[in-house]
Amino acid sequence: MPIGVKLVQKVSSTRTFAKIAPHVIPALDKAVHRLTRGKTLLSAQMLPGVVLTAKGARSGLERTTPLACMPEPDRGTWLLIGSNFGRPGHPAWTANLLAHPDVEISWKGEAIPVRAERLTGADRAEAWTAALAFWPPYASYQARVDREIRLFRLTRR
């Protein structure tokens, strides 16, 4: 593993990163995504990413959220990990997916309609193991919170 990746993983595991990142990274991602007409996410230099467009759980209004993802090329799906950078409480986008699972993602500039399925039981355990191998800092995020981090699999509709 390149030293730069190890450094990024170490920094992204810190509490300071968890405090700052949720405010800075999504804003930068949205701006870069807009400027590049949906072709680029700044955070995708670190991890693959999608821009999720979903209806708000309570408002029903369209919400866009840039998110890191774990592509599953063998399945043609994507995993979303509701880590919230190791902060308490589930991120709002996870409630949106639970309420309205038919959503759209922007993946490498392509708009793709998908259906989100919350993973539980053995499916979640298998996906969590893969997510930790893919991005080890998820383990430190889980260690900081009492809740079980929600995992979703996105499948093309």
pLDDT at residue number 4 = 52
Q: Mean pLDDT by 10-residue block, N- to C-terminus, for the chain (157 residues)?
A: 53 66 71 73 77 96 94 97 88 97 95 98 98 91 93 98
pLDDT at residue number 23 = 67
How far is Cα 63 from Cα 26, in angstroms, rounded to an integer? 13
pLDDT at residue number 31 = 79
pLDDT at residue number 46 = 73
What are the extents of the domains in the chain? Answer: 3-156
The CATH class that applies to domain 3-156 reads mainly beta
Question: Whole-prediction pTM value?
Answer: 0.78
How far is Cα 134 from Cα 102, in angstroms, rounded to an integer? 26
pLDDT at residue number 20 = 73
Helix, strand counts (H, E) of the chain: 5, 7
pLDDT at residue number 133 = 94
SS3 69: coil
